Amino acid sequence: MTSTLSQKVWDRHVVRRVEGETDLIWIDLHLIHEVTSPQAFDGLREASRRLYRPDLTVGTMDHDIPTGAPGTPIEDPVAAEQVRRMYANCAEFDVRLYPLGDPGQGIVHVIAPQLGLTQPGMTVVCGDSHTSTHGAFGAVAFGIGTSQVEHVMATQTLPQARPLAAAVDLEGQCDQSVTAKDVALAIMRELGTDGGNGSIVEYRGDAVRALTMEGRMTLCNMSIEAGARAGMVAPDDTTYTYLEGRPHAPKGSLWERALEDWRTLYTDENAAFDRVFTLDASRIRPSATWGTNPSQSVSLDGTVPDPSSFSDPDERNAAGRALEYMDLQPGTALADVALDVVFIGSCTNGRLEDLRAAADVIRGRRVSSTVRALVVPGSALVKIQAEQEGLDEVFTRAGFEWRQPGCSMCVAMNGDIVPPGKRSASTSNRNFEGRQGQGARTHLVSPAVAAASAVTGRLTAPQDL
CA atoms within 13 A on the CB side of 351: 23
Beta pairing partners, 444: 426
Give the tens place of pLDDT for each residue, 187-207: 999 999 899 999 999 999 999
Type of residue at 224: I
Tell me the backbone φ, ψ of residue 364, rounded to 5 degrees.
80, 5
Distance CA(276)–CA(280), nearest Å, equals 14
Report CA-CA distances (Å) from 417 to 170, 337, 374, 420, 444.
Answer: 36, 20, 11, 9, 15
Q: What is the pLDDT of residue 25?
A: 98
CB neighbour list of residue 439: distance below 8 Å, 6 or more residues apart: 419, 420, 421
Residue 443: closest CA among 294, 241, 262, 251: 294
Cα(402)–Cα(459) distance, rounded to whole angstroms? 21
**From CA 184, how far away is CA 352, in angstroms rounded?**
19
pLDDT category of residue 367 using cuts at 50, 70 and 90: very high
SS (H, E, C) 152-214: HHHHCEEEECCCCEEEEEEECCCCCCCCHHHHHHHHHHHHCCCCCCCCEEEEECHHHHCCCHH
In sequence order, the 6+-apart residues with CB closer than 8 A to the CB of 261 are 121
Q: Whose CA is closest to 407, among 63, 156, 73?
A: 63
Query: Could you tell me the pLDDT band of residue 71, with boundaries at 50, 70 and 90?
Result: confident
Contacts of 166 (CB under 8 A, 6+ apart): 196, 197, 199, 200, 201, 202, 228, 273, 274, 275, 276, 277
Domains identified in the chain and CATH numbers: 5-160 (3.30.499.10), 165-234+263-283 (3.40.1060.10), 287-464 (3.30.499.10)
- DSSP character for 286? -
Could you tell me which of 100, 67, 105, 13 has the C-alpha nearest to residue 380? 105
In whole angstroms, what is the distance from residue 380 CA to residue 353 CA? 15
Global pTM value: 0.97
Residue percentage of the chain with pLDDT more than 90: 98
pLDDT band at 430 (very low <50, low <70, confident <90, very high): very high
The predicted structure's pLDDT at residue 404: 97
Contact yes or no for 426/347 (Cβ under 8 A):
no
- Supply the mean pLDDT for the chain: 97
Q: Report pLDDT digits (tens) over 277-295.
A: 999 999 999 999 999 999 9
Confidence category of residue 1, pLDDT binned at 50, 70, 90: confident
Q: By the 8 A CB rule, do 214 and 180 touch?
A: yes
Residue 71 CB-density burial (10 A; 0-12 exposed, 13-18 middle, 19+ buried): exposed
User: DSSP secondary-structure letter at 302?
Assistant: S
How many CB atoms lie under 10 A from the CB of residue 310? 15
Alpha helices in 298-379 (DSSP H): 313-326, 346-349, 352-362
Contacts from 244-251 at CB under 8 Å and sequence distance 24+? 246/114, 246/115, 246/116, 247/115, 247/116, 248/115, 248/116, 248/117, 249/116, 249/119
